[in-house]
Structure 1
Amino acid sequence: MNSLQPKKRSKLRIFFGKKVYRLRRYSEWYMDGKKYATRRSMEKLKHVIFKHRTPLLRKLKDVEMELQTNKITNLKIAAKRLNGIMLQPGETFSYWRLIGSTTKRKGYVDGMILHYGQVTKGVGGGLCQLSNLIYWMTLHTPLTITERYRHSYDVFPDSKRKQPFGSGATCAYNYLDLQIKNETNVPYQLLIYLTDTSLVGEWRAHMGANRTYKVYEKDHSFTRESWGGYVRHNTIYRKAYNLNGELIDDEFITENHAITMYEPFLTYEK
């Protein structure tokens, strides 16, 4: 792996780069031969394969609470686009193809976004919480993740972290997409909704699960880089168990490398 370090790009390059990547994605959506999931059903499938929730509000250093409350507005709009989506055998779920662009005209407001390691704001900000949730849930199902992007920066120190570092999926319309293919012979259904305090997701299926999963990390470390900063590393694995609780597989999922925007060894002092 080449050493990571912060990159400085001009606003002009970033602007035209986004245009090029977005046009490329539009072309892929219509010419790549994939069968994308589009049908929605509000009749819940019987079997819950995996369910997870994350808090809507967190206290984050140097982040205005207004941006977090605005995020809830954005999540409500996006959740309506995904709730009830059916993923039939052979179909591919595309996060951004279903949600669409996040514009003010659709009701989206300014929320928190991460831009080259800096906390800033933008219309539709905060939807990474939704892509993170879906990615984490999918790791606990037989569905196949065919496209996922890791976060390049680790902006905030761990605070009551319950999941391994790097077990989320960053998103940016539309070129940083999250895509999931149903390579099983069973229909799946995604449910997404908000309570007063949480963002909640469920993967349901026509048949019950015949295995369970445990996602964990290996080789977690921080390295001091020659340019003066730190990079955080780990690898993500998952164990699969049959219904008798017997281990039947232990597979590599992905590796993560992210530039830390804080002093890691001060943060982790006991």
Structure 2
Amino acid sequence: MGVHTTNGIQGVSVSDDARNASARRGKKGLLIGSGVGVVALAAAAYVGACYHYKDAIPEGTTVAGKSIGGMTSEQATRQVLTLKHPNASTKANVTAGDQSFDLAPASAWKPDAEKTLDGVTEFSLSPGRLLDQINGGGEKIEPVYSVDKTALTTLVKKAAESKIDGAPKQGRVKFIGGKVSIVDGAPGHGVDEKKVADAIASGWPKKTDYTTELVEKNSDASDNAVQAFAEGDAKKAMSAPLEVSANGQSVTLTPAQVSDVISSTTGSDGKPAIKVDTEALLTTVLSRGDKMRVPAVDAKVVWKDGQPSVVEGRSGKEIDESKVAKIVGDALVGDHKATLAMKEQKPAVMAKDVNVEALPSTSMAHFESPFPTGPSQQARIHNITTAINRLNGIVVQPGEQFSLLRALGYEFTKESGYVEAGTLQGGLHLDGMGGGVSQVSTTMYNTAFFAGVQLDEHTAHAVYISRYPMGREATIWNPGIDNKWTNDTGKPILIKAHVESNKVVMDFYGTKKYDVATRTSGKYNIQSPKHRTVKNVKGCENTVGGGVPGFDVDVYRELKSGSTTVRTEKIHTKYKPDDIITCQN
């Protein structure tokens, strides 16, 4: 062996035998190295696949019979949070001495999404799990519910006080028409509600009968405490109008209006305080403040020359409901100026969430709703078309709850593109902004109905309108009357909708989970319309014809998987008579 230099590079000289041996060893090493490399590459690919599918729930996975296969953890969480306790109708019966009362505890049990989905989406190197995620083979998961002890104790307390003879009478303050009145308290007997709640929390629903003793109880607040509250904070709350501001807009509520959205409550310290009904307050405020929120706009699909593309959504602003009660409560005992806190409202669907190339191409439900035409209907048709154009192309992700009010931007104003047209308000046919949009709501409700998705919230018209399916229709009103459903199919749903000649046409494109059958009962509890004279109501319209009777009707929706009926749902509707109206002045 010697040292030599080739092209300026110093190297080592070896004999031919040594060189050949080295070459043989090199080939063997190369083969071994290649094998290790292939294994390493395969291992890396496998780990990569496991990581890629770590947040993908295997197809076929269900929670309480509802599909979450293919969903992300976030989507599945939304789905789980919509679940109702399976024992919602199971009551707890409590015997106290020689008396008894019952209550429905289910409302105190809430689905625990984190515990329910624990381990369903996580990084795992299990081959079986990876195959399930790729090919399907999910498990049937039973939801985990957690009990809210405070809510359960309140349920027990209310049930006992309303049903036990001789229960203590709670001293409190009532707000009526802007005035303060006192309800005197009185001692009585009842139960130790915390003790009973603890027993129900540990035994229900397997155990439904509970026994406890009657105990002497005083009113939660003493007469002196109620009197002091009435003369102090309660009196101040009614002393002046309340100015409520949000997003730069203000509305003023009179003391009488404020009294409709507050009450008194007694804390654990025995002192009364003002309790604000957040939902009622916001309903009142938002009915007058059309700029108090800016709804988020979801990404949606648009078509140009037959080719789909995605328009990005944008965030909005909404009132932070969790802070309303404290802000308003403080204002009522302060300067009567309540500036509500705002928070960002993010789009439910972003452009990145929509894969244009994988848009569903099969209609899972189709519905058409005809409407009257002619010169007198043009305003109504304009509103219908405006609303339909906002809905066309919306993608509802798995586990997402669709809100028609939110999708339409909440407000039916001139700035939103609407005009005045015929509406039903308090049993009267009056012109109102956005008249006709209920036709869109009815079309949406029926499309969701036949798509077999989870129906969450709808309100039928107060009176029967013959162009709509009896018992299978939905109105809409801002605020307070919405049309909601949840996509529980496990796959995205694309809404396609348009106005065609004299009808609203809507399709849900997606993967249908159930076949839907329906039947409708006959009319019952029929009530004849009455003659009514209405004075000094702007836009009032005289009834043409003899009015429409009121009645009750039941609609049944049967969800089937093959030949198996998964469940049958009953939708009960009570229509009031559409009275014969004569307008004066």
Q: Deviations over 1:191-221 (max 9, x none)?
A: 111112221100111x3x3532122212531
What is residue 439 of structure 2 aligned with on the other side? Answer: 129
1:194-205 maps to which residues of 2 (within 5 A)?
Answer: 194-205=499-510
Q: Out of 138, 141, 148, which is 2:458 matched to?
A: 148
Shift in alpha-carbon separation, 1:109–1:120, aligned structure 2, 3 A = same
Deviation of 1:51 (Å): 0.7
Per the alignment, residue 177 of structure 1 pairs with: 482
* Structure 1 pair 107–24 and aligned structure 2 pair: CA distance change class (3 A): closer
Distance 1:144 1:138 in 2: 8
Give the 3 Å change call, closer, same or farther, for CA 87–231 of structure 1 in structure 2. Answer: same
After superposition, the Cα gap between the structure-2 partners of 1:35 and 1:167, relative to the gap in structure 1 and judged at 3 Å, is farther
Structure 2 match to 1:218? 521
Q: State the 1:145 CA deviation.
A: 1.5
User: Is 1:47 aligned with 2:366?
Assistant: no
Cα distance between partner residues in 1 of 2:508 and 2:425: 30
Compared CA separation, residues 130 and 70, structure 1 to 2 (3 A): same
- Deviation at residue 172 of structure 1 after TM alignment: 0.3
Output one character per residue of 1:162-183: Cα deviation in whole Å (capped at 9) or x when no partner: x3x1201111013101111112
1:21 maps to which residue?
283
Letter in 2 for 1:70: A
The aligned residue for residue 119 of structure 1 is: 429
User: Equivalent of 2:448, from 135, 138, 145?
Assistant: 138
Please list, as runs of the form range in 1=range in 2, the aligned pairs for 1:59-208 lying within 5 A after superposition: 66-100=375-409, 101-154=411-464, 156=465, 158=466, 163=469, 165-205=470-510, 207=511
How far apart, in 1, do the equivalents of 2:321 and 2:421 lie?
Answer: 33
Equivalence map 1:256-267=2 (5 Å) = 256-261=573-578
Secondary structure of the residue aligned to 2:446 is helix
Q: Secondary structure at the match of 2:444?
A: helix
2 CA distance for matches of 1:46 and 1:210? 15
CA contact (8 A) 1:218 1:234 kept: yes
CA distance in 2, matches of 1:36, 1:89: 15
- Greater shift after overlay, 144-153 or 91-100? 144-153
Structure 2 Cα separation of the partners of residues 91 and 105 of structure 1: 28
Cα distance change, pair 262–214 in 1 and its aligned pair in 2 (3 A): farther
1:241 touches 1:249 (CA, 8 Å); kept in 2?
Answer: yes
Distance 1:200 1:47 in 2: 16
More deviation, 214-223/75-84: 214-223
Aligned to 2:552: 233
Alignment TM-score, normalising by the size of structure 2: 0.36
Q: Which runs of 5+ in 1 are unaligned?
A: 1-11, 59-64, 264-270
Matched, 1:248 2:558: no
Check whether the contact 1:35–1:92 (CA below 8 A) recurs between aligned residues: no
2-side partners of 1:257 and 1:211: how far apart?
28
In structure 2, how many angstroms separate the alpha carbons of the residues matched to 1:36 and 1:254? 31
Task: For 2:453 and 2:321, locate their aligned partners in 1 and report how far apart those are by CA, in whole Å.
Answer: 23
1:6: which partner in 2? none
Q: Which has the higher contact order (CA 8 A, sep 6+)?
A: 1
Aligned length: 234
The aligned residue for residue 231 of structure 2 is none
Q: Please, which moves more after superposition, 143-152 or 42-51?
A: 42-51
Structure 2: gaps (5+ residues):
1-253, 262-279, 288-292, 294-316, 323-344, 532-547, 581-585
Q: Kindly state the Cα deviation for residue 74 of structure 1 after the two structures are TM-superposed.
A: 0.8
Matches of 1:51 and 1:193, distance apart in 2: 12
Whether contact under 8 Å (1:67, 1:112) holds in the other structure is no
* TM-score, length basis structure 1: 0.73
Alpha-carbon contact 1:36-1:92 (below 8 Å) kept: no
CA distance in 2 between counterparts of 1:52 and 1:223 reads: 29
Do the aligned partners of 1:224 and 1:231 also contact (CA within 8 Å) in 2?
yes
Would you say the 8 A contact 1:216–1:237 is kept in 2? Answer: yes
CA distance in 2 between counterparts of 1:35 and 1:146 reads: 22
- Give the C-alpha shift of residue 232 in structure 1: 0.5
Question: Between Structure 1 and Structure 2, which shows a larger proportion of helix residues?
Answer: 2
The residue number in structure 2 matching 1:57 is: 372
Percent of aligned pairs with the same amino acid: 20
Q: How far does residue 252 in structure 1 lie from its aligned partner after superposition?
A: 2.2
User: Structure 1, residues 87-111: CA drift from partner, whole Å, max 9, x if none?
Assistant: 1112111111111211112321111
The 1-side partners of 2:472 and 2:564 are apart by 22
Question: How far is the alpha carbon of 1:30 from its aligned partner?
Answer: 5.7
Structure 1 residues 180, 255: CA separation in 2 closer, same or farther (over 3 Å shift)? Answer: same
Q: Displacement of 1:224 after TM fit?
A: 4.0
